[in-house]
Amino acid sequence: MNTEPLPMATPQTGLVVLREMARSHWSPLAALAVMRAKVGPIFQINLPGFHPAVYTGPEANRTILVTDREQLSWRNETDPVVQLLRRGVLVVDGAEHDKVRGIMDPPLHRRNVLPHIPAFWQYTDQVTAAWQAGETHDMLVEMRKLALLILVGTTFKVDFAPDMARMWQPILDLIEYISPGLWIVWPGAPAKAKHKRAAAVMDDYLYTIIRRRREELAASGAEPEDGDLLGKLIAAPEMTDDLIRDQLLTMLIAGHDTSTALLAWVLYLLGVHSTARQAVVAEVDAVIGAGDAPPTIEQINRLDFLDQVIKETLRLYPPIHVGNRRMPQEQALCGYRVGEGTRVMYSIYLSHRDPEHWRDPDAFCPARFARGSEEKVPPFTYVPFGGGPRNCIGAAFAQVEARTVLARLFQRFHFDLLDGERVHAHMGATLEPRPGVKMWVTPRRG
């Protein structure tokens, strides 16, 4: 094979990495940034028990997401996410993936998501109804409640409110289970008892939903509507209850934890950047006004500045900051030799902050996404939703959801950030603002 070995850090660079990590509360993101700066856009991490190949930049992203995607597998058998989601669309390969994705794609097309706008609006009201004037709330918690109500309410057509309290801790435990942990250096580490218990509670919840919907659909004899994801899964003859459980759990986790992080990061960034916050409020007032009626599709489409804020937030804090693959046999990838079984990661976070492609990459600057902006980056430099045939199935859903929820929040409330200096990016299952986004919330109108 006429290829180079993957570049690694020299002992000197290793020391710089350690120094930077110590300076930034042991953040692995700081370590990755030093590796990118000192070793280059493609490198191998060499820690005891952990040697993934890390790829960054537009060429590498295109190779992994499109050109050479079939040389790589998504499934890494011992990863907790695979143990949990079993045959979920996120963690299966080849024809098996394409078949399930073919069933799940249409209900999540933009045209089938837009009719959910009134539901996104009303669920926002449902969460904020519990806020009293002048209280402080953690937006990481509030946005998780909202994202769960929305995801389960619109894609499963089940009201999550009665189960929220009972399911809250199991959901957090399952997210912890799939977050980076001991399993990274000890593949196949056994699940903790609390994770097993959480999975059992979740299974009970999901199988009950599936059984009920099967009975309802059989009794009515009606075809599920276009946007009814659970209905479409049940109507597909090849989908057993076990396979549907795997898809529902995939949607529940991938579809709410990401939106939670995005919404919380937007509120945090607008809490820090008051000029941008004022511009969002002015735009919402001009386009939507003060009324309680849900906005039209046309109004949602006109929230240009809010859209730039959402895009810039996804650039700085991509909720999925890295995509994981596995190299099934030794092969060349972008001219470097990658050994059999190596974990391959494309770092969305590093691509989004690459000084070679972005002007002032660490600065919050929504205008870089304005129509006609002079800042142009090559395709596949900005990949918050991945790319190619296995891009995020919920990309349209997440963007319409974010615009509608944020428009309603800023139409009705003033948000003041408290303890903003303590907020840092934490690498859990998603990139989250920890320890949370504490905000002082006051209604704008009497």
Using CB under 6 A, list all residues that contact ligand HEM.
89-90, 101, 108, 155, 250-251, 254-255, 258-259, 262, 318-320, 323, 384-386, 390, 392-394, 397-398
For tokens 């609006």, what's the residue?
121
Q: Which residues pair with 346 in a beta bridge?
A: 55, 323
Order of all β-strands in the sheet with 4-5 = 4-5, 336-338, 331-333
Q: Which residues pair with 413 in a beta bridge?
A: 443
Instruction: Please give the Cα distance from 235 to 211 (Å, whole number).
Output: 13
As measured in angstroms, the least distance from the Cβ of 393 to ligand HEM is 4
Q: Which residues pair with 343 in a beta bridge?
A: 326
393 vs 423 by CB, closer to ligand HEM: 393
Q: How far apart are the first and last CA of the chain?
A: 71
Residue nearest to ligand HEM (CB): 394
State the DSSP H helix or E strand holding residue 215, giving kind and residue range, or none if neither: helix 193-220
CB 310 within 8 A of CB 370: no
DSSP character at residue 291? -
The amino acid at residue 363 is A
89 vs 210 by CB, closer to ligand HEM: 89
34 vs 268 by CB, closer to ligand HEM: 268
As measured in angstroms, the least distance from the Cβ of 384 to ligand HEM is 5
34 vs 239 by CB, closer to ligand HEM: 239
295 vs 386 by CB, closer to ligand HEM: 386
Phi, psi of 323, deg, nearest 5: -105, 135
Kindly write down the DSSP assignment for every residue of 154-200, as one continuous string: III----GGGHHHHHHHHHHHHHHHSSSGGGTSTTPPPPHHHHHHHH
Instruction: Please give the Cα distance from 213 to 218 (Å, whole number).
Output: 8
HSE of 187, CA atoms in CB hemisphere, 13 A: 12
Q: Which residues pair with 71 in a beta bridge?
A: none
17 vs 124 by CB, closer to ligand HEM: 124
17 vs 75 by CB, closer to ligand HEM: 75
As measured in angstroms, the least distance from the Cβ of 324 to ligand HEM is 6
As measured in angstroms, the least distance from the Cβ of 124 to ligand HEM is 16
The amino acid at residue 382 is Y
Handedness of CA 56, 62, 65, 68 (dihedral sign): negative
9 vs 300 by CB, closer to ligand HEM: 300
177 vs 265 by CB, closer to ligand HEM: 265
As measured in angstroms, the least distance from the Cβ of 102 to ligand HEM is 10
As measured in angstroms, the least distance from the Cβ of 141 to ligand HEM is 18
As measured in angstroms, the least distance from the Cβ of 114 to ligand HEM is 14
As measured in angstroms, the least distance from the Cβ of 311 to ligand HEM is 11
CB 60 within 8 A of CB 334: yes
As measured in angstroms, the least distance from the Cβ of 318 to ligand HEM is 6
